[in-house]
Every structure is written in structure tokens, then in C-alpha cells.
């Protein structure tokens, strides 16, 4: 019993200390966030405690800090199956536009209508989905993006979709809208994409928890 207790204490001590999740969206307004519009339109609005896409496309990014060595938790739903959005991570500098954010950082895809390289939970066009566990339109999905140094893992509804070490080769870019290839930083700014008005994407939680 004593040996077991000592082992348990040592093993627990070897794990990174857990930290409390910190909300980046206050459910009231866009405090701390800035929207960059590709076209005229509000982009995002806060309604009934939720952040929702509205109008023209663009990028809503969190201005207060770069985020790394953390778990980013995003809880979202779509009004129709035609919903398209993404979570941008590892943007090295304040983005100048939505395309700039995509090419300098990484988009974790939300739209699930395309192939296994362009579906929910993938690093858009760079990693292939290990699973496709997205829930249908009208239901809430939980996406957790773990940034551990250069490594990025993504789970959707508790199922692992992506595990990328940050340095292994990825497929060549074949379309103009796919992100430019190249290294990404360990930490960076994050953001949410409003792709189009074919569906309303609602976000009820955007939080971050430090790994260590």
C-alpha cells in the first residue's frame, strides 16, 4: 500500500499542473475581439449570450495575447448543414485580413462537407482527418485544440481528429485559397472565421486552459 501511494504521488507530480479554463468570450459583447471584414457587414454579433456570424465574411480575432501551450475549447453549432467557419491559431502577428490570417497561421476547419483533408477538425488542407465525429446542424459540437510547443492536436466531441507534430511534411498547396506552406510559431493570435452567409454559426464558449 505504501509503495502504491508513493508511486501515485510521483506519477502525479510528473504530469503538468492543471490550470483553470479562462473564458475569452464574455457572453455580453466583443470586448477583446476585433473584426476584419473582407466585405461590408458586421461579421459577428452577440445575441442571447452567444457569438453568432452575421453578414459578410471576415475574421474575428482575439487581440489581447498570443496563445501557446494551451487547450483552446470552442463550443459551436450551425443553423444548417451548409455552415462554414474555422478557428485560426498560431498567427504570428496581428492579422491584416482573413486571408492574411489563413496564410500566416493555421485554420482548424469547421465545415464538414468536403474531403478528409478539408473537414471539421483538420488543419485545413495540411492534415487528413482520423475521424469525422461532427454532430449534425442544430446540435452543439465541442472542439478542443491543444497547442503543445509546435504540436497541434484536435478533438471534436471527444474524438481525436488531428495530431500533427508541426514539422513533418504536408501535401503541396494545390488551390489558391489553401494556406501558404511553411513553419508556424509555437504561440500566436487566434481568431474565428465568418466564411459566408449560407448558415449562422453560433459560439457559446471560447476558452483557454494553460498546459503548464
State the pLDDT at residue 212.
77
Across 95-109, average pLDDT? 96
Q: How many CB atoms lie within 10 A of CB 34?
A: 13
Quote the distance between the C-alpha of residue 82 and its chain's center: 19
State the pLDDT at residue 38.
75
For domain 23-210, the CATH architecture is: Sandwich (2.60)
Kindly tell me if the per-residue pLDDT of 10 is higher than 50: no
Least trusted range by pLDDT, from 13-22, 69-78, 88-97, 166-175? 13-22
pLDDT band at 32 (very low <50, low <70, confident <90, very high): very high
Q: How many CB atoms lie within 10 A of CB 105?
A: 23
Please tell me the pTM assigned to this model: 0.89
**Which of residues 16 and 68 earns the better pLDDT score?**
68
Per-domain residue ranges of the chain: 23-210
Across 61-89, average pLDDT? 97
Kindly tell me if the per-residue pLDDT of 15 is higher than 60: no
pLDDT band at 37 (very low <50, low <70, confident <90, very high): confident
State the pLDDT at residue 41.
66
Kindly tell me if the per-residue pLDDT of 14 is higher than 80: no
Contact 168, 158 (CB under 8 A): no
Spatial neighbors of 5 by CB under 8 A, at least 6 apart, are: none
Amino acid at each position: 500500500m505504501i509503495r502504491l501511494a508513493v508511486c501515485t504521488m510521483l506519477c502525479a507530480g510528473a504530469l503538468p499542473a492543471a490550470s483553470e479554463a479562462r473564458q475569452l468570450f464574455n457572453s455580453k459583447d466583443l470586448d477583446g475581439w476585433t473584426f476584419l471584414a473582407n466585405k461590408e457587414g458586421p461579421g459577428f454579433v452577440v445575441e442571447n449570450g452567444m457569438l453568432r456570424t452575421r453578414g459578410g465574411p471576415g475574421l474575428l480575432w482575439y487581440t489581447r495575447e498570443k496563445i501557446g501551450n494551451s487547450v483552446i475549447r470552442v463550443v459551436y453549432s450551425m443553423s444548417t448543414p451548409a455552415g462554414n467557419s474555422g478557428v485560426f491559431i498560431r498567427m504570428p502577428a496581428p492579422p491584416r485580413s482573413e486571408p492574411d490570417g489563413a496564410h500566416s497561421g493555421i485554420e482548424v476547419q469547421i465545415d464538414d462537407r468536403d474531403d478528409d483533408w478539408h473537414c471539421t477538425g483538420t488543419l485545413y488542407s495540411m492534415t487528413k482527418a482520423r475521424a469525422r465525429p461532427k454532430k449534425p446542424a442544430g446540435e452543439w459540437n465541442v472542439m478542443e485544440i491543444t497547442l503543445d510547443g509546435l504540436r497541434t492536436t484536435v478533438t471534436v466531441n471527444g474524438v481525436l481528429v488531428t495530431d500533427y507534430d508541426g514539422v513533418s511534411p504536408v501535401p503541396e498547396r494545390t488551390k489558391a485559397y489553401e494556406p501558404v506552406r511553411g513553419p508556424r510559431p509555437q504561440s500566436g493570435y487566434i481568431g474565428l472565421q465568418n466564411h459566408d452567409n449560407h448558415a449562422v454559426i453560433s459560439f457559446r464558449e471560447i476558452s483557454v486552459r494553460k498546459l503548464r
